[in-house]
Amino acid sequence: MLGLLYRAADALRRRAAGGDHGRTGEDLAHRYLRSHGCTIVARNYRPRSGFGEIDLVAWHGPTLAFIEVKTRASEDFGAPETAVDTEKRDRLARAARDYARRAGIEWQRTRFDVVSVVLSRRPRIDWQRDAFGSSGS
């Protein structure tokens, strides 16, 4: 029954979002992570400096994960996670340091994850834990 409600909500969201693949991918990633034991504490976090954005911030056990979500309609031009380049990692790291400082979280208790979403008939979601180091590289 719950699965039916989720599918109906997905259909409505896709219709409302139109071509906004990013928003649809974030919604799917949010639900996926929650179903795998994460507690989402922030979405689309931007530091006051405006430099960088973190799609999702979640507790996974004792670790605070800063999560970048990459969504593609297909893999015709490569896997979604390949779009997380060095510049993107550096921006994520700066925003994450700001979040951790404001929340009073020790940096050693954090990690960076990437969730890739391919919007096929049955969306494919891949969660890469600890995808890159805390320095952004």
> What are 41-46's contacts with CB under 8 Å, separation 24+?
42/99, 45/95, 45/99, 46/95
CATH topology for the 2-132 domain? Trna Endonuclease; Chain: A, domain 1 (3.40.1350)
Distance CA 58, CA 33 (A): 8
40 beta partners: 58
Look over the chain and give the mean of its residue pLDDT values, rounded to a whole number: 85
Q: For residue 52, what are the CA distances in angstroms to 46, 95, 105, 122?
A: 6, 6, 19, 31
Task: State the pLDDT at residue 137.
Answer: 47
pTM of the model: 0.81
Confidence of residue 117 (pLDDT cuts 50, 70, 90): very high
Higher-confidence position of 69 and 7: 69
- Residue 1 above 80 pLDDT? no
Least confident of 17-21, 76-80, 91-95: 17-21
Q: Using DSSP, state whether 136 is helix, strand or coil.
A: coil
Distance CA 97, CA 91 (A): 10
Region 3-12 average pLDDT? 63
Confidence of residue 97 (pLDDT cuts 50, 70, 90): very high
Percent share of the chain, pLDDT over 70? 79
Q: Radius of gyration of the chain from Cα atoms?
A: 15
Cβ atoms < 10 Å from Cβ of 21: 18
Q: For residue 50, what are the CA distances in angstroms to 40, 86, 98, 115?
A: 21, 18, 11, 23
Region 51-76 average pLDDT? 91
- Residue 16 above 80 pLDDT? no
